[in-house]
A and B are shown apart, each in its own frame.
Chain A
């Protein structure tokens, strides 16, 4: 079944179109990667899907419903977990509070996956009371994934998870994403510049 579909989506910042007539379909349970050089509009695509950017035209369908006119928080509450480029953890909240911030995603379920999340990323449990701004880049990436995952969303949106992170951690995160897809059945849409990560996240 198609979980997410974009049809003829055009999106722009102040009139300069970045995405032009984009069509994309993601089936339930899939891992889909979109590759592109820097500046082509990968982040723009992710922001349009989560709803931080309103498309000029076209429709976005999620679980068969047209969500084009809905705000980002509404879409998140319908079960989309977004992991922004550059992580964007809340630096002054603790690691644990950052994870709790993900609880508002997927409002239909009040079951939270703290155990699985801390199984995938044990370092986050060790650092639970530390403020998130003191984590390393790789740890912040894990935290952003944990935050998006804790409320068991149906779809994860990952914007350049490998950016600015050591190769060994990139490998580990790729494996974790594969495991999350296998074990929790989470559908994943990610964008990347390099092929490194797509080798692991084979469709």
Chain B
């Protein structure tokens, strides 16, 4: 009995962890075609902002978590405008270039680039990986320089649930609840709101969306901010339970990337299904053979999924649906 409960809790744990680790990454990848290798560091921003809001500002924990998510969304917006879209640097360059070329001798002026400096990284998977990897290195080192090797942690709220000889942190149940609510919220946003509809239209055909009056730049910026905000929320939620050090983001990366690979392009359904499947696999293996084998099982599943379901679970579902339609 107790072991079944253990297994159930372990499953909830893995499920919540995978959903929360992957949500922001999945949105940014699914809608913008950008692979954000600094995803873990966005989680770091959320975790640090939350912790500092409690320790240095004195906010109550829930307000601090909200602040952590909002700060990360704002940070994401700045990253989008500078690195991902290049709009900021291009704006500056457009104004600087005429002055610079007037001031310089003709020969020197001739070598200045005349067009925009940065091409947006949308749908450029490899390029976006390189750029965000650089960002990730800068952020980890930056955090280390500014805050040192660790900062004080906030206490875990809610205490324990006891069953038999075991006990389980009640906060982890809260995380499971939040992860389900988050999936519901993201589903709602992308299905029923104008923003969500436009974002999906932009993925399918951004030229046509633009020709219909959609400001696609704003849609991309909002999407990146939303994805960043969710990563920040993940950091905020885990701030009380993981140690606060500059590399904390890396422990989310394996689950996040495996979930996105296995889930495929559809953000909500993909993340939900892959979190359920991977959560089950990870918890069963961890429960039987220990956490190490849990992770190994997770990675093996990812390799098998890449081999047999190249479009992820949702890519497979889409293929089956198409076949059904053709047959009917």
A97 to chain B, nearest CB (A): 5
State whether A84 touches B208 (Cβ < 8 A). yes
- Binary B-proximity of A140-173 (CB < 8 A = 1, otherwise 0): 0000000110010000000000000000000000
Instruction: List B contacts of A72 (CB < 8 A).
Output: 207, 210-211
B205 within 8 A of A: yes
Q: Mark A93-117, 1 if CB is under 8 A from B, else 0.
A: 1000100111011110000000000
B207→A52 contact, CB < 8 A: yes
> B204, A76: Cβ atoms under 8 Å?
no
Question: Are B197 and A101 closer than 8 Å at their CB atoms?
Answer: yes
Bound CA span A134–B325, Å = 9
Cβ-based interface call for B81 (8 A): no
Total chain A interface residues with beta-carbon distance under 8 A: 27
A147 touches B197 (CB 8 A): no
* Complex CA distance for A92 and B210, rounded to whole angstroms: 17
* B201 contacts A93, C-beta separation under 8 Å: yes
CB distance from B113 to the nearest CB of A (A): 18
* C-alpha spacing A76/B194, complex, angstroms: 18
Whether B198 sits at the interface, judged by CB under 8 Å, is yes
Write out the residue numbers on chain A whose beta carbons fall within 8 Å of the beta carbon of B201. 90, 93, 97, 101
Residues of B within 8 A of A84 (CB): 208, 211
1/0 per residue, CB under 8 A from A, across B205-230: the answer is 10111111111100000000000000
Q: Contacts A100-B197, A101-B197, A134-B325: A90 and B214 contacting too (C-beta < 8 A)? A: no
Q: Would you call B207 and A76 a contact (CB within 8 A)?
A: no
Instruction: Take A90-B205, A134-B325 as given contacts and tell me if A76 and B200 are in contact as well, using a CB distance cutoff of 8 Å.
Output: no
CA distance A88 to B210 in the complex (A): 12
Q: DSSP class of B's interface residues: helix, strand, loop or mixed?
A: helix
A154 to chain B: closest CB distance in Å?
13
- Tell me if A190 counts as interface (CB < 8 A to partner B): no
In the bound complex, do residue B213 and residue A104 qualify as a contact, i.e. CB atoms below 8 Å apart? Answer: yes
Cβ of A101 and Cβ of B212 under 8 Å apart?
yes
Q: Is the CB of B211 within 8 A of A90?
A: no
Q: A114 to chain B: closest CB distance in Å?
A: 15
Complex Cα spacing A72 to B209, Å: 10
**Are B213 and A105 touching (Cβ within 8 A)?**
yes
CB within 8 Å for A90 and B213 given contacts A84-B208, A134-B325: no
Q: A73-B216, A90-B200 are in contact. Are A101 and B207 (CB under 8 A)?
A: no
Asked if A122 is at the interface of the complex by the 8 Å CB criterion, the answer is no
A177 contacts B by Cβ under 8 Å = no
CA distance A29 to B122 in the complex (A): 40
In the complex, what's the smallest C-beta–C-beta distance from B42 to chain A, in angstroms? 28
Q: Which residues of B contact A50 (CB under 8 A)?
A: 211
| Contact flags B71-95 to A (C-beta < 8 A → 1, else 0) | 0000000000000000000000000
**Beta-carbon contacts of B185-210 to A below 8 Å, as 1s and 0s?**
00000000010011011001101111
Across the interface, name the chain A residue whose C-beta is closest to B196: A97
Q: Which chain A residues lie closer than 8 Å to B204 at the CB level?
A: 90-93
Residues of B close to A148: CB separation below 8 A: 212
Query: For chain B residues 211-263, which have a beta carbon within 8 Å of chain A?
Result: 211-216
A71 in the interface (beta carbon within 8 A) = yes
CB distance from B63 to the nearest CB of A (A): 36
Known: A92-B204, A93-B204. A105 touches B212 (CB 8 A): yes
Residue of B nearest to A151 (CB): B213
Closest to B318 in A: A92
Nearest residue, chain A, Cβ from B209: A101
CA distance A105 to B197 in the complex (A): 15
B280-308, CB under 8 A of A: which get 1 and which 0? 00000000000000000000000000000
Using CB atoms, name the residue of chain B closest to A132. B204
Interface centre among B197, B213, B214 (most CB of A within 10 A): B213
A73 near B215 (CB under 8 angstroms)?
Answer: yes
Structural contact, A104 and B214, CB atoms closer than 8 A? yes
When the two chains form their complex, are residues B211 and A107 in contact, meaning their CB atoms are under 8 A apart? no
25 contacts between A and B (CB under 8 A): A51-B211, A52-B207, A52-B210, A72-B210, A72-B211, A73-B211, A73-B213, A76-B212, A76-B213, A82-B211, A88-B205, A90-B201, A90-B204, A100-B197, A101-B197, A101-B209, A101-B212, A104-B213, A104-B214, A105-B212, A105-B213, A106-B213, A107-B213, A148-B212, A151-B213
**Chain A residues proximal to chain B, CB less than 8 Å:** 50-52, 71-73, 76-77, 82, 84, 88, 90-93, 97, 100-102, 104-107, 134, 147-148, 151
Apart from A76-B210, A93-B197, A105-B213, what are 13 other A-B pairs with CB-CB below 8 Å? A50-B211, A71-B210, A73-B211, A73-B212, A73-B215, A73-B216, A82-B211, A88-B205, A92-B200, A93-B204, A97-B201, A101-B198, A101-B201
Chain B residues with a Cβ under 8 A of chain A: 194, 197-198, 200-201, 204-205, 207-216, 325
4 closest A-B pairs by CB: A104-B213, A76-B213, A88-B208, A77-B213
